[in-house]
């Protein structure tokens, strides 16, 4: 784990602590474990996977607590929720990362991230044309990745 990664996790910790304090909520040992696992994970993960990882550190952590903490991590901007259409939500680290969209391989499930400013500009122009104010968007390209074509 490199320096940047360490720094980001540190940021995540204080962001979450501040978020909880501001809302009069408590930083429990379970929340600490779940935060650590969520921000330490690479790529996209499900609630079920997060539960599994968290249980390795504290076997008493429950599914309910994972879901409740996931909601807080989303609300605080530390995680972002993604729906790739496979019936369950996936999560990824959001804080300190730029917005990006996804290419999803329908065969192997691989997810590739990309940023494309020209597309975003055109999206905004399109929205403006309809008198629409965009808050967030979701662009997913489904198909075959290099290895699955």
Partner DNA sequence: CTTGATGCAAAGTGTTTGCAACTTA
Partner DNA sequence: TAAGTTGCAAACACTTTGCATCAAG
Smaller CB separation from DNA, 19 or 123: 19
Smaller CB separation from a copy of itself, 25 or 134: 134
Q: Which residues are registered as beta bridge partners of 81?
A: 91
Site residues (vs DNA, CB under 7 A): 20, 24-31, 46-48, 58, 60-65, 67-71, 87-89
Residue 87 binds which entry of a copy of itself, DNA, none, CB below 5-8 Å type-dependent: DNA
Among 25, 71, 108, 134, binds a copy of itself (CB under 8 A): 134
Q: What are the C-alpha distances in Å from 25 to residues 8, 22, 56, 95? A: 22, 8, 25, 20
User: CA-CA distance, 23 to 25, in Å (whole number)?
Assistant: 5
User: CA-CA distance, 44 to 101, in Å (whole number)?
Assistant: 13
Among 27, 41, 103, 111, binds a copy of itself (CB under 8 A): 103
112 binding a copy of itself? (CB under 8 A): yes
User: CA-CA distance, 12 to 45, in Å (whole number)?
Assistant: 17
């Amino acid at each position: 784990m490199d320096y940047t990664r360490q720094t980001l996790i540190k940021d995540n910790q204080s962001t979450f602590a501040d978020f909880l304090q501001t809302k009069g909520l408590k930083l429990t040992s379970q929340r600490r474990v779940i935060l650590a696992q969520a921000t330490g994970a690479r790529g996209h993960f499900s609630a079920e996977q997060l539960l599994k990882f968290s249980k390795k550190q504290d076997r008493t952590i429950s599914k309910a607590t994972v879901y409740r903490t996931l909601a807080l991590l989303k609300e605080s901007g530390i995680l972002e929720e993604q729906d790739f259409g496979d019936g369950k939500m996936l999560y990824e680290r959001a804080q300190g990362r730029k917005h990006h969209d996804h290419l999803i391989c329908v065969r192997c499930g691989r997810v590739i991230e990309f940023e494309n400013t020209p597309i975003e500009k055109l999206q905004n122009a399109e929205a403006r044309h309809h008198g629409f104010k965009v808050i967030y968007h979701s662009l997913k390209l489904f198909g075959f990745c290099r290895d699955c074509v």
